[in-house]
Amino acid sequence: MLLNIIQLLDPASLDSWLNYPGLELWKFLDLGIFLGVAVFLLKRRMRDALEARRESIKSELLRAQKERDEAIAQLAAAEALLARLDSDIAALRDEARKEAEFERQRLQVATDAELEKLRLEAQKGIERAGKIARQELRRFLALRSVQLARESVICDLRPEDDVGLIASSIAELREGRI
């Protein structure tokens, strides 16, 4: 191996390396010179372009940071709203329960008042109906009593009593009492 290295350092073999097919050293030297001149000529433009690119990236990063901060603020506001939402819902439920209880009590009072009114009206109707029924019963009893009295008198009346009644009625007429 050492022998191979010594042979490579020999000037005669160096010349063979320079013309080795596919590895011609002059091509690499030409490329290096071209790149050096290109960098020297384009250095200012590349630096300006890279500087502009850096500035645009920097401004984009600042804008992205600002948008991120705004998004974080909006997120915090939304989280605060969500946190407050539970307490708002609880407050609304409590208020709805209170209103429902108040409405139930109001309806109970209104129902009780309406029932009392209906009870009084029914009582008055019953009293009127009772009064009318008693009057009808009295009238019926009076008519029936008269009818029974007639029938009783007619059944118990003998022909002699009939003659006596007629005579007394005529006598009363003569006296002028009737």
Contact by Cβ (8 Å): 7, 13? yes
CA distance 129 to 117: 18
SS3 90: helix
CA distance 100 to 106: 10
Instruction: Report the predicted TM-score, pTM, of the whole model to 2 decimal places.
Output: 0.36
**What are 42-91's pLDDT values in tens digits?**
888 888 888 999 999 999 999 999 999 999 999 999 888 888 888 888 88
**What are 88-124's pLDDT values in tens digits?**
888 899 999 999 999 999 999 999 999 999 999 989 9
